[in-house]
Amino acid sequence: MTPQQTQLLVSSAIVALIAWRLQSRVRRLIGRQRLSPVRPWINVVLFPVLIALLALGTRVHPLAGLALAGGAVLGITLGVLGLKLTRFEVTPAGLYYTPSAHIGVALAVLVVCRIGWRLLTQGLPEPAAGSAPPGAALTPLTLLLLGTLAGYYWTYAVGLLRWLGRSRGLSRGAQSTS
């Protein structure tokens, strides 16, 4: 197999993997979901750490840092809107919520477009001696998108945890009066 065929095969496999993960992510973003008591906590911890690490890497590039911060603010705003548009359900089978399909699809489209744009303009990164580390390829536009996603998922997770706390309090109160 020639190196070009190998690169094409690897590229095709990566594109297929990304498409599969995006498809599963979109289905999860727009459908009814059972509230996991653990998943929101992971998001509440993970995304601030991600933002802090990215911010640490952008301290010598003020525009990149501003893009990251602006994205986080935009994401928090979208998260608050997303929570207002979410349908919450308390059922005997558990707690369920249905996120806003519009916001979920819009975020997925942004990610797909950004990945597609990077692949079209720069191709897949090839490891080369003396090349810049992968983090050096984070442009202000990419950081804006990452900040938006992190801000959205963090805010949404906080909202889910708040709803979980209120719902548990309501269900306990209903059980004690019965």
The yes-or-no verdict on residue 3 having pLDDT over 70 is yes
pLDDT computed for residue 170 by the predictor: 58
Q: Are 175 and 69 within 8 A, CB to CB?
A: no
| Residues 10-48: tens digit of each pLDDT | 767 766 776 776 676 666 667 888 998 899 999 999 999
- Check pLDDT > 90 for residue 110: no
Residue 178 — pLDDT band, cuts 50, 70, 90? very low
Listed residue (76, 59, 38, 67) closest to 153, CA to CA: 76
- pLDDT tens column, 45-91: 999 999 999 898 888 888 999 999 999 999 999 999 999 999 999 99
Of 34, 33, 50, 54, nearest to 42 (Cα)? 50
| Three-state SS at 126 | coil
The pLDDT confidence band at residue 177, using thresholds 50, 70 and 90, is very low
Question: What's the whole-model pTM score?
Answer: 0.75
Contact (CB, 8 A) for 64 and 136: no
The C-alpha angle 43, 135, 122, rounded to 5 degrees, equals: 110
Partners of 34 in beta bridges: 96
Residue 124 has what DSSP assignment? S
DSSP letters spanning 143-163: HHHHHHHHHHHHHHHHHHHHH
pLDDT on residue 176: 41
Q: What share of the chain is helix, strand, coil (3-state, %, to 5)?
A: 75, 5, 15
Residue 40 and residue 93: Cα distance in Å, rounded?
Answer: 19
- Looking at per-residue pLDDT, the higher value among 87 and 109 belongs to 87
Higher pLDDT, residue 94 or 138? 94
- 121-175 pLDDT per residue, tens: 876 656 554 555 444 567 888 899 989 999 999 999 999 999 999 987 655 544 4
